[in-house]
Amino acid sequence: MKNRGNCDGYWEMLNDYADGRLHGHASEKAESHLAECKQCREALADIRSIRQGLVCEPVEKPSLDLWEECYQRIGEDGTPRRVSKVAQVWKPAFGVAVASIVAGLALLLAPCGHPQATEIPMCDLVMQHAGFAASQPLSISSHHVLLTARCMEEKVRTDDDSE
């Protein structure tokens, strides 16, 4: 791009020189050109003046309670998002284990053609396989398994009726 008042092609060099990114031969070349070119000296002065202005120009002071308001808001909104290593590893593993158990039970309790097996309600089969006596109170996990078995039993009955 053209920069009016600069030698064509020297703008990049001047910026690099102003930022202290030229070394050795490149720096010497820039200084040699600047010694001979008034336009580039003015351009370099402009770059430095702009930087100085950006640093030194006054900034309107913030409200006195800006930072306390920030911390209050953090207290309301900001809770650090923590991802524990336990959750990262064991949650998926637990999920897989539960799914495997349910799938295994489903396969186990699927109608296998034995009249005796189909006559036995699934719920009782589940209870037998789970080793629970009828009178024994159910834990939450075994209750869930029982509900799954009941749903499957209902489905089997529905399928049989529709055939």
Partner 1 sequence: MTELGDFRALVDAYQSAIYRVAYRLTGGREDAEDLVQETLVEAYMAFPRFKPGTRFDQWVYRIMTRNYIDLYRRRRKTETVSLEEMTEIGEPFEVPDSASDPQQVLDRGTWSEPVQVALIRLTPEYRATVVLCDVQGLSYEEASVALRCPVGTVRSRLHRARAQLRESLRPKEGQS
Q: Contact residues for partner 1 (CB under 8 A)?
A: 1, 3-5, 11-12, 15-16, 19, 21, 42-43, 45-47, 49-55, 57, 59-63, 66-67, 69-71, 73-75, 77-82
CB 163 within 8 A of CB 140: no
CA nearest 43: which of 23, 15, 19?
15
The nearer residue to partner 1, 71 or 90, going by C-beta atoms, is: 71
CB 122 within 8 A of CB 156: yes
The nearer residue to partner 1, 66 or 133, going by C-beta atoms, is: 66
Write down the least CB distance from residue 21 to partner 1, Å. 8
Q: Tell which phi-psi region holds residue 152, choosing left (phi > 0), alpha (psi between -120 and 50) or beta.
A: alpha
**Dihedral pair phi/psi, residue 52, rounded to 5°:** -65, -40
The nearer residue to partner 1, 4 or 25, going by C-beta atoms, is: 4
Write down the least CB distance from residue 127 to partner 1, Å. 46
Write down the least CB distance from residue 106 to partner 1, Å. 41
